[in-house]
Amino acid sequence: MKTYLVTGGAGFIGSNFVHYVLSHHDDVKVVNVDSLTYAGNLENLAAVSEDERYVFVHADICDRSRMRSLVDEFDPDYVVNFAAESHVDRSIENPSVFADTNVLGTISLLDAVRDAWMGADGPGERKYLQVSTDEVYGTLSLDEPDTFFREDTPLSPHSPYSASKASADLFVQAYADTYGLPINITRCSNNYGPYQFPEKLIPLMIHNAQSHEALPVYGDGLNVRDWLYVEDHCKAIDLVLRKGRVGEVYNVGGHNERSNMYIVERIIAELAERLDDPAICTSLIRHVEDRKGHDRRYGIAPDKIKEELGWEPETAFEDGIARTISWYLDNQEWVEHVTSGTYQQYFEHMYGNRKVLS
Protein backbone atom coordinates (compact mmCIF):
# COMPACT_ATOMS: atom_id res chain seq x y z
CA MET A 1 0.00 0.00 0.00
CA LYS A 2 1.17 3.50 -0.89
CA THR A 3 0.35 6.40 1.41
CA TYR A 4 -0.12 9.84 -0.11
CA LEU A 5 0.06 12.90 2.15
CA VAL A 6 -1.67 15.61 0.11
CA THR A 7 -1.53 19.21 1.34
CA GLY A 8 -4.21 21.56 0.07
CA GLY A 9 -6.36 18.59 -0.84
CA ALA A 10 -9.64 20.44 -0.25
CA GLY A 11 -8.89 23.01 -2.94
CA PHE A 12 -9.64 22.82 -6.64
CA ILE A 13 -6.76 20.77 -8.06
CA GLY A 14 -6.01 19.04 -4.77
CA SER A 15 -9.53 17.67 -4.35
CA ASN A 16 -9.58 16.47 -7.94
CA PHE A 17 -6.27 14.72 -7.27
CA VAL A 18 -7.67 13.00 -4.17
CA HIS A 19 -10.62 11.74 -6.25
CA TYR A 20 -8.26 10.61 -9.02
CA VAL A 21 -5.95 8.62 -6.74
CA LEU A 22 -8.76 6.88 -4.88
CA SER A 23 -10.58 5.99 -8.11
CA HIS A 24 -7.50 4.71 -9.95
CA HIS A 25 -5.69 2.78 -7.19
CA ASP A 26 -7.06 0.26 -4.70
CA ASP A 27 -3.93 -0.16 -2.58
CA VAL A 28 -3.60 3.44 -1.34
CA LYS A 29 -4.24 5.63 1.66
CA VAL A 30 -4.75 9.37 1.14
CA VAL A 31 -4.17 11.79 3.99
CA ASN A 32 -5.59 15.20 3.09
CA VAL A 33 -4.12 18.11 5.07
CA ASP A 34 -5.87 21.44 4.53
CA SER A 35 -6.31 24.64 6.55
CA LEU A 36 -9.70 25.30 4.87
CA THR A 37 -9.20 28.88 3.75
CA TYR A 38 -11.86 30.43 1.49
CA ALA A 39 -10.84 28.18 -1.43
CA GLY A 40 -10.66 24.97 0.60
CA ASN A 41 -14.02 23.23 0.70
CA LEU A 42 -14.81 19.84 2.21
CA GLU A 43 -17.92 19.68 0.03
CA ASN A 44 -15.46 18.91 -2.79
CA LEU A 45 -14.73 15.61 -1.05
CA ALA A 46 -18.16 14.57 0.17
CA ALA A 47 -18.16 11.56 -2.14
CA VAL A 48 -15.02 10.07 -0.52
CA SER A 49 -15.52 11.22 3.07
CA GLU A 50 -16.60 7.73 4.20
CA ASP A 51 -13.91 5.88 2.25
CA GLU A 52 -11.74 3.99 4.75
CA ARG A 53 -8.70 4.78 2.61
CA TYR A 54 -9.21 8.54 3.13
CA VAL A 55 -8.26 10.68 6.14
CA PHE A 56 -8.80 14.42 6.56
CA VAL A 57 -6.61 16.51 8.88
CA HIS A 58 -7.40 20.18 9.53
CA ALA A 59 -3.96 21.80 9.71
CA ASP A 60 -1.87 24.60 8.21
CA ILE A 61 1.39 23.77 6.44
CA CYS A 62 2.95 26.78 8.17
CA ASP A 63 2.55 24.93 11.50
CA ARG A 64 6.00 23.35 11.59
CA SER A 65 5.53 21.03 14.56
CA ARG A 66 2.20 19.77 13.21
CA MET A 67 3.69 18.99 9.81
CA ARG A 68 6.51 17.02 11.40
CA SER A 69 4.12 15.08 13.61
CA LEU A 70 1.90 14.23 10.64
CA VAL A 71 4.84 12.97 8.59
CA ASP A 72 5.92 10.85 11.57
CA GLU A 73 2.41 9.55 12.20
CA PHE A 74 1.46 8.56 8.67
CA ASP A 75 4.95 7.84 7.24
CA PRO A 76 3.88 8.76 3.69
CA ASP A 77 5.47 7.33 0.57
CA TYR A 78 4.54 10.48 -1.31
CA VAL A 79 4.08 14.05 -0.12
CA VAL A 80 2.29 16.22 -2.71
CA ASN A 81 2.16 19.94 -1.97
CA PHE A 82 -0.84 21.67 -3.53
CA ALA A 83 -1.28 24.04 -0.59
CA ALA A 84 -0.96 27.58 -1.90
CA GLU A 85 -2.57 30.92 -2.31
CA SER A 86 -3.09 30.92 -6.06
CA HIS A 87 -5.08 33.90 -7.34
CA VAL A 88 -2.97 36.60 -8.99
CA ASP A 89 -5.49 39.36 -8.23
CA ARG A 90 -5.38 38.55 -4.52
CA SER A 91 -1.56 38.53 -4.60
CA ILE A 92 -1.55 42.05 -6.02
CA GLU A 93 -3.80 43.14 -3.16
CA ASN A 94 -1.85 41.38 -0.39
CA PRO A 95 1.56 39.93 -1.37
CA SER A 96 2.66 39.02 2.16
CA VAL A 97 -0.03 36.34 2.51
CA PHE A 98 1.42 34.63 -0.56
CA ALA A 99 4.95 34.77 0.84
CA ASP A 100 3.76 33.25 4.12
CA THR A 101 1.85 30.30 2.64
CA ASN A 102 3.65 29.63 -0.63
CA VAL A 103 7.22 30.15 0.55
CA LEU A 104 7.37 29.71 4.33
CA GLY A 105 4.71 26.99 4.23
CA THR A 106 6.71 25.07 1.64
CA ILE A 107 9.87 25.38 3.76
CA SER A 108 7.94 24.10 6.78
CA LEU A 109 6.85 21.03 4.81
CA LEU A 110 10.33 20.49 3.36
CA ASP A 111 11.85 20.58 6.84
CA ALA A 112 9.32 18.02 8.05
CA VAL A 113 10.12 15.50 5.32
CA ARG A 114 13.86 16.18 5.49
CA ASP A 115 13.96 15.53 9.23
CA ALA A 116 11.85 12.39 8.88
CA TRP A 117 13.42 10.89 5.77
CA MET A 118 17.09 11.81 5.75
CA GLY A 119 18.27 9.70 8.68
CA ALA A 120 20.71 6.81 8.56
CA ASP A 121 18.39 4.66 6.43
CA GLY A 122 17.72 7.43 3.90
CA PRO A 123 14.44 8.16 2.14
CA GLY A 124 14.12 4.85 0.32
CA GLU A 125 11.45 5.11 -2.38
CA ARG A 126 9.75 8.13 -0.80
CA LYS A 127 9.27 11.31 -2.79
CA TYR A 128 8.21 14.93 -2.31
CA LEU A 129 6.40 16.61 -5.23
CA GLN A 130 5.89 20.37 -5.51
CA VAL A 131 2.94 21.40 -7.66
CA SER A 132 3.96 24.63 -9.38
CA THR A 133 2.81 26.78 -12.29
CA ASP A 134 3.89 27.93 -15.74
CA GLU A 135 3.63 31.49 -14.45
CA VAL A 136 7.09 31.17 -12.89
CA TYR A 137 8.52 31.44 -16.43
CA GLY A 138 7.04 34.89 -17.07
CA THR A 139 5.38 35.72 -20.37
CA LEU A 140 5.58 34.88 -24.07
CA SER A 141 4.85 37.11 -27.04
CA LEU A 142 1.67 36.81 -29.07
CA ASP A 143 3.86 37.50 -32.11
CA GLU A 144 5.89 34.30 -31.62
CA PRO A 145 3.28 31.52 -31.43
CA ASP A 146 5.90 28.81 -31.98
CA THR A 147 7.81 29.63 -28.77
CA PHE A 148 6.99 27.72 -25.59
CA PHE A 149 8.05 27.35 -21.98
CA ARG A 150 10.42 24.43 -21.47
CA GLU A 151 11.90 23.04 -18.28
CA ASP A 152 15.15 24.96 -18.85
CA THR A 153 13.40 28.28 -19.57
CA PRO A 154 14.78 30.81 -17.03
CA LEU A 155 12.41 31.73 -14.22
CA SER A 156 11.09 35.27 -14.66
CA PRO A 157 7.95 35.75 -12.52
CA HIS A 158 5.98 38.98 -12.91
CA SER A 159 3.35 38.89 -10.16
CA PRO A 160 3.63 38.43 -6.39
CA TYR A 161 1.87 35.08 -6.84
CA SER A 162 4.29 33.76 -9.46
CA ALA A 163 7.26 35.16 -7.53
CA SER A 164 6.18 33.23 -4.45
CA LYS A 165 5.81 30.02 -6.47
CA ALA A 166 9.19 30.50 -8.15
CA SER A 167 10.79 31.04 -4.75
CA ALA A 168 9.19 27.88 -3.43
CA ASP A 169 10.47 25.94 -6.46
CA LEU A 170 14.00 27.16 -5.78
CA PHE A 171 13.79 26.06 -2.15
CA VAL A 172 12.60 22.62 -3.24
CA GLN A 173 15.55 22.32 -5.62
CA ALA A 174 17.91 23.62 -2.95
CA TYR A 175 16.75 20.94 -0.50
CA ALA A 176 17.41 18.32 -3.17
CA ASP A 177 20.91 19.65 -3.83
CA THR A 178 21.84 20.34 -0.20
CA TYR A 179 20.22 17.46 1.68
CA GLY A 180 19.64 14.91 -1.07
CA LEU A 181 15.87 15.13 -0.66
CA PRO A 182 14.08 13.10 -3.38
CA ILE A 183 11.88 15.63 -5.17
CA ASN A 184 10.01 16.43 -8.34
CA ILE A 185 8.47 19.69 -9.48
CA THR A 186 5.57 19.86 -11.91
CA ARG A 187 4.69 23.14 -13.63
CA CYS A 188 1.24 23.20 -15.15
CA SER A 189 -0.73 25.49 -17.41
CA ASN A 190 -4.14 26.93 -16.48
CA ASN A 191 -6.39 24.24 -15.06
CA TYR A 192 -10.17 24.11 -15.38
CA GLY A 193 -12.88 21.64 -14.44
CA PRO A 194 -15.09 20.68 -11.46
CA TYR A 195 -14.77 22.30 -8.02
CA GLN A 196 -12.92 25.43 -9.16
CA PHE A 197 -13.66 28.46 -7.00
CA PRO A 198 -15.44 31.14 -9.07
CA GLU A 199 -12.81 33.82 -8.72
CA LYS A 200 -11.05 32.20 -11.71
CA LEU A 201 -12.06 33.00 -15.27
CA ILE A 202 -14.11 29.98 -16.36
CA PRO A 203 -16.30 29.40 -13.28
CA LEU A 204 -16.70 33.16 -12.83
CA MET A 205 -18.06 33.53 -16.38
CA ILE A 206 -20.34 30.51 -16.04
CA HIS A 207 -21.79 31.83 -12.79
CA ASN A 208 -22.26 35.42 -13.95
CA ALA A 209 -23.68 34.50 -17.36
CA GLN A 210 -26.31 32.27 -15.79
CA SER A 211 -27.35 35.18 -13.57
CA HIS A 212 -27.30 37.71 -16.44
CA GLU A 213 -24.60 39.64 -14.59
CA ALA A 214 -21.71 41.54 -16.16
CA LEU A 215 -18.83 39.46 -17.49
CA PRO A 216 -15.66 41.44 -16.58
CA VAL A 217 -12.80 40.92 -19.03
CA TYR A 218 -9.42 42.48 -18.37
CA GLY A 219 -8.14 44.85 -21.08
CA ASP A 220 -8.69 43.74 -24.66
CA GLY A 221 -9.21 40.12 -23.62
CA LEU A 222 -6.57 38.85 -26.03
CA ASN A 223 -4.28 37.41 -23.35
CA VAL A 224 -3.64 33.77 -24.19
CA ARG A 225 -3.42 30.82 -21.81
CA ASP A 226 -2.78 27.12 -22.35
CA TRP A 227 -5.80 25.33 -20.84
CA LEU A 228 -5.46 21.94 -19.14
CA TYR A 229 -8.39 19.84 -17.98
CA VAL A 230 -7.82 19.09 -14.32
CA GLU A 231 -8.16 15.32 -14.57
CA ASP A 232 -5.39 15.23 -17.19
CA HIS A 233 -3.22 17.19 -14.76
CA CYS A 234 -3.96 14.77 -11.93
CA LYS A 235 -2.91 11.83 -14.08
CA ALA A 236 0.36 13.59 -14.88
CA ILE A 237 1.15 14.24 -11.22
CA ASP A 238 0.49 10.62 -10.29
CA LEU A 239 2.73 9.43 -13.13
CA VAL A 240 5.56 11.72 -12.03
CA LEU A 241 5.25 10.46 -8.45
CA ARG A 242 5.41 6.82 -9.44
CA LYS A 243 7.70 6.89 -12.48
CA GLY A 244 9.36 10.30 -12.79
CA ARG A 245 13.12 10.59 -12.42
CA VAL A 246 14.06 11.91 -8.99
CA GLY A 247 15.13 15.55 -9.04
CA GLU A 248 13.49 16.40 -12.36
CA VAL A 249 11.11 19.18 -13.32
CA TYR A 250 8.24 18.26 -15.64
CA ASN A 251 6.09 20.76 -17.53
CA VAL A 252 2.43 19.73 -17.85
CA GLY A 253 0.54 21.54 -20.60
CA GLY A 254 -2.63 21.05 -22.54
CA HIS A 255 -1.74 22.19 -26.09
CA ASN A 256 -5.02 24.10 -25.81
CA GLU A 257 -4.05 27.75 -26.18
CA ARG A 258 -7.05 30.06 -26.24
CA SER A 259 -7.53 33.79 -25.67
CA ASN A 260 -9.66 35.02 -22.79
CA MET A 261 -12.18 36.43 -25.26
CA TYR A 262 -12.51 33.06 -26.97
CA ILE A 263 -13.16 31.44 -23.59
CA VAL A 264 -15.84 33.97 -22.62
CA GLU A 265 -17.60 33.83 -25.98
CA ARG A 266 -17.54 30.03 -25.98
CA ILE A 267 -19.13 29.92 -22.52
CA ILE A 268 -21.82 32.41 -23.61
CA ALA A 269 -22.69 30.40 -26.70
CA GLU A 270 -22.76 27.09 -24.85
CA LEU A 271 -24.91 28.35 -21.99
CA ALA A 272 -27.31 30.27 -24.25
CA GLU A 273 -27.94 27.13 -26.28
CA ARG A 274 -28.29 24.76 -23.34
CA LEU A 275 -30.54 27.03 -21.31
CA ASP A 276 -32.40 28.38 -24.35
CA ASP A 277 -31.79 31.86 -22.94
CA PRO A 278 -31.21 34.71 -25.44
CA ALA A 279 -30.34 37.06 -22.55
CA ILE A 280 -27.04 35.19 -22.21
CA CYS A 281 -25.21 37.06 -24.95
CA THR A 282 -22.08 39.07 -25.70
CA SER A 283 -23.72 42.29 -24.51
CA LEU A 284 -22.96 41.08 -20.97
CA ILE A 285 -19.21 41.46 -21.61
CA ARG A 286 -17.55 44.42 -19.92
CA HIS A 287 -13.94 45.23 -20.81
CA VAL A 288 -12.44 46.63 -17.63
CA GLU A 289 -9.14 48.19 -16.63
CA ASP A 290 -6.39 45.61 -17.02
CA ARG A 291 -4.71 43.76 -14.18
CA LYS A 292 -1.32 45.15 -13.13
CA GLY A 293 1.56 43.28 -14.79
CA HIS A 294 -0.81 41.09 -16.82
CA ASP A 295 1.24 38.47 -18.71
CA ARG A 296 0.32 38.32 -22.38
CA ARG A 297 0.72 34.64 -23.22
CA TYR A 298 1.59 31.33 -21.59
CA GLY A 299 2.39 28.24 -23.60
CA ILE A 300 3.93 24.99 -22.37
CA ALA A 301 5.88 22.39 -24.30
CA PRO A 302 5.15 19.07 -22.50
CA ASP A 303 7.65 17.14 -24.63
CA LYS A 304 9.71 15.84 -21.70
CA ILE A 305 6.83 14.25 -19.79
CA LYS A 306 5.53 12.68 -23.00
CA GLU A 307 8.90 11.23 -23.97
CA GLU A 308 9.82 9.94 -20.51
CA LEU A 309 6.46 8.93 -19.03
CA GLY A 310 4.11 8.65 -22.00
CA TRP A 311 1.77 11.35 -20.72
CA GLU A 312 -0.13 13.68 -22.99
CA PRO A 313 -3.38 15.59 -22.51
CA GLU A 314 -6.44 13.54 -23.38
CA THR A 315 -9.08 16.28 -23.23
CA ALA A 316 -9.48 18.78 -26.06
CA PHE A 317 -10.63 22.16 -24.82
CA GLU A 318 -13.98 22.01 -26.61
CA ASP A 319 -14.77 18.71 -24.86
CA GLY A 320 -13.41 19.85 -21.52
CA ILE A 321 -15.34 23.11 -21.43
CA ALA A 322 -18.58 21.27 -22.26
CA ARG A 323 -17.95 18.83 -19.39
CA THR A 324 -17.08 21.69 -17.05
CA ILE A 325 -20.24 23.65 -17.87
CA SER A 326 -22.30 20.49 -17.35
CA TRP A 327 -20.74 20.01 -13.91
CA TYR A 328 -21.54 23.56 -12.79
CA LEU A 329 -25.11 23.33 -14.11
CA ASP A 330 -25.59 20.03 -12.32
CA ASN A 331 -24.11 21.27 -9.03
CA GLN A 332 -25.98 24.50 -8.36
CA GLU A 333 -26.13 23.88 -4.61
CA TRP A 334 -22.31 23.75 -4.47
CA VAL A 335 -22.13 26.98 -6.49
CA GLU A 336 -24.63 28.73 -4.23
CA HIS A 337 -22.66 27.76 -1.13
CA VAL A 338 -19.29 29.05 -2.39
CA THR A 339 -20.69 32.28 -3.87
CA SER A 340 -22.60 33.40 -0.79
CA GLY A 341 -21.54 35.89 1.86
CA THR A 342 -17.99 37.21 1.56
CA TYR A 343 -17.68 36.16 -2.08
CA GLN A 344 -20.04 38.95 -3.11
CA GLN A 345 -17.93 41.46 -1.19
CA TYR A 346 -14.79 40.15 -2.89
CA PHE A 347 -16.31 40.44 -6.37
CA GLU A 348 -17.41 44.01 -5.73
CA HIS A 349 -13.98 44.90 -4.34
CA MET A 350 -12.10 43.42 -7.32
CA TYR A 351 -14.33 44.62 -10.14
CA GLY A 352 -16.79 47.21 -8.82
CA ASN A 353 -14.38 50.16 -8.99
CA ARG A 354 -12.49 49.20 -12.13
CA LYS A 355 -12.79 51.57 -15.03
CA VAL A 356 -15.07 50.16 -17.73
CA LEU A 357 -13.36 50.39 -21.12
CA SER A 358 -16.26 49.17 -23.26
What does the H/E/C string look like for the chain?
CEEEEEECCCCHHHHHHHHHHHHHCCCEEEEEEECCCCCCCHHHHHHHCCCCCEEEEECCCCCHHHHHHHHHHHCCCEEEECCCCCCHHHHHHCHHHHHHHHHHHHHHHHHHHHHHHCCCCCCCCCEEEEEEEHHHHCCECCCCCCCCECCCCCCCCCCHHHHHHHHHHHHHHHHHHHHCCCEEEEEECEEECCCCCCCCHHHHHHHHHHCCCCEEEECCCCCEEEEEEHHHHHHHHHHHHHHCCCCCEEEECCCCEEEHHHHHHHHHHHHHHHHCCCCCCHHHEEEECCCCCCCCECCECCHHHHHHHCCCCCCCHHHHHHHHHHHHHHCHHHHHHHCCCHHHHHHHHHHCCCCECC
Concerning whether 134 is annotated as a catalytic residue, the answer is yes
Whether 135 sits among the annotated catalytic residues: the reply is yes
Decide if 312 is catalytic: no
- Which of the residues 161, 175, 250, 351 is marked catalytic? 161
Catalytic residue among 60, 135, 238, 257: 135
Q: Pick the catalytic residue from 60, 77, 134, 226.
A: 134
> Among all residues, which ones are annotated catalytic?
134-135, 161
